[in-house]
Amino acid sequence: MNATKFQLAVQQALRNGKSLLLVAPTGLGKTFAVTGDLQESFCKTVYAVPLRALGSGIQQQVAELTRNGKPVHAVIHHGDQQDSVLFGEEVVVTTYDQVVCGVPGLPLSLPLKAGHAVAGALLMSRLVLDEAHLAWGISDQALTILLGIVDFRRKLGLQTVLLTATLPKEIAARIGQEFDLEVLIVGEGALKEDEGLCERDAKRQVRVSALKLKLAEKGDTKKLD
């Protein structure tokens, strides 16, 4: 897969050990941007999403990456599917609640005695918090808790990546300054002319059409098809 301008910029920043706040529209390839460097070298990664339904797509994208002719090993771990062994795999795709509880050593969907192992795995990992703008839908405290984890990791010098599809520039700049994150906004500044964004914008269109509804069965006046 050929990386676009913003994907290359993200991967270079990650190689340099920086923590990031990446703002990019949906469908532009944020997942590859933050995992593409795994094709070059091992990097233990915990990739967290707010909704369980998002996990399988992320896991499949990561599993398509190869290093030395072998696929990068990625597993899913959340309330509905527990494929991880104490978060020991190279890439663990999980949910926000698993991370929030795992940081203090109180793992979900794992024995309590495994808490130190999960907490240690998180300390050894690059932590990716995807779709951060959806945190508000979980609870009014979810984003505050996530940013608290980001700040905790900052103080320890651990690499953390926040991904979001939308965020005002002023807010992004403030978050970046507060938590020592390099801010990359696709469509702005050095990333204004990203080829992936240009192609996406060129193909975007809206079509309006009418859908005629009719009764599902003759004589049934209550149900529509």
Identity of the amino acid at 152: F
Span 27-78, pLDDT tens digits: 889 999 999 999 999 999 999 999 999 999 999 999 999 999 999 999 999 9
* Residue 110: partners with Cβ closer than 8 Å, 6 or more residues away: 82, 86, 118
Q: Average pLDDT, whole number, for the chain?
A: 90
Span 65-124, pLDDT tens digits: 999 999 999 999 998 999 999 999 999 999 999 999 999 999 888 888 889 999 999 999
Distance of alpha carbon 129 from alpha carbon 149, whole angstroms: 10
| DSSP string for residues in 90-159 | SEEEEEHHHHHHHTTT--SSS-GGGHHHHHHHHHTSEEEE-SGGGGGGT-TTHHHHHHHHHHHHHHHT--
Which residue in the block uniquely carries the two structure tokens 């599809």?
165
HSE, CB side, 13 Å, CA atoms: give it for residue 200. Answer: 14
Q: Answer whether 144's CB lies under 8 Å from 3's CB.
A: no
Span 184-214, pLDDT tens digits: 999 888 888 888 788 888 888 888 988 887 7
- Decide if pLDDT at 166 tops 90: no
Identity of the amino acid at 166: T
Cα dihedral across residues 160, 132, 5, 67: positive or negative: positive
Which whole-number Å values give the CA distances from 35 to 14, 26, 66, 145, 153, in the listed order?
Answer: 9, 16, 11, 24, 19
Q: What average pLDDT score do residues 159-188 get? A: 93
Identity of the amino acid at 43: C
pLDDT of residue 221: 63
Which residue in the block uniquely carries the two structure tokens 């599993």?
63
pLDDT of residue 42: 95
The DSSP bridge pattern shows strands 91-95 and 20-23 to be unpaired
Domains and their CATH numbers in the chain: 5-203 (3.40.50.300)
Stated pTM of the model: 0.86
Q: What backbone torsions phi and psi does residue 10 show, to the nearest 5 degrees?
A: -65, -45
Tokens of residue 91, six digits:
């890439």
pLDDT of residue 206: 86
